Amino acid sequence: MANTSAAEKAMRQSERRRVRNRVVRAQARTQVKDANKQIESGKPADAAQEVKQAIRALDQAAQKGVIKKNNAARRKARLMKKLNALTASK
């Protein structure tokens, strides 16, 4: 438990941030999951659209500081690698 008023305020702030960040993080995860499903389905056009949305969600999360910049870059690279493998095989 917090011992000072400053610590209590910090706890309130961190809880507000946690709730706000959770929405953005969950949205990015869902977009990535949907993109992976589309890639596995084998339809390059639909997969490309989903990957584009996932990249946008990851960029927004990184810009807001919910995830780190390199984390977003790594996830985007993995998605693009899978998408490129799909389009090369078709």
> b/e for 11-40, b at 16 or more Cβ within 10 A?
eeeeeeeeeeeeebbeebbebbebbbebbe
Nearest to 84 by CA among 57, 51, 56: 51
Domain assignments of the chain as residue spans, ordered by start = 5-89
Residue given tokens 């499903």 in the structure block: 37
The pLDDT of residue 90 is 67
Indicate if the pLDDT at residue 1 is higher than 70.
Answer: yes
Q: Per-residue pLDDT tens for 10-25?
A: 999 999 999 999 999 9
Amino acid at 76: K
Q: Per-residue pLDDT tens for 27-67?
A: 999 999 999 999 999 899 999 999 999 999 999 999 999 99
The pLDDT of residue 2 is 82
**CATH architecture for segment(s) 5-89:** Up-down Bundle (1.20)
Structure-block tokens of residue 25: 């993080």
pTM: 0.87
Report yes or no: 82 and 64 within 8 Å, Cβ to Cβ.
Answer: no
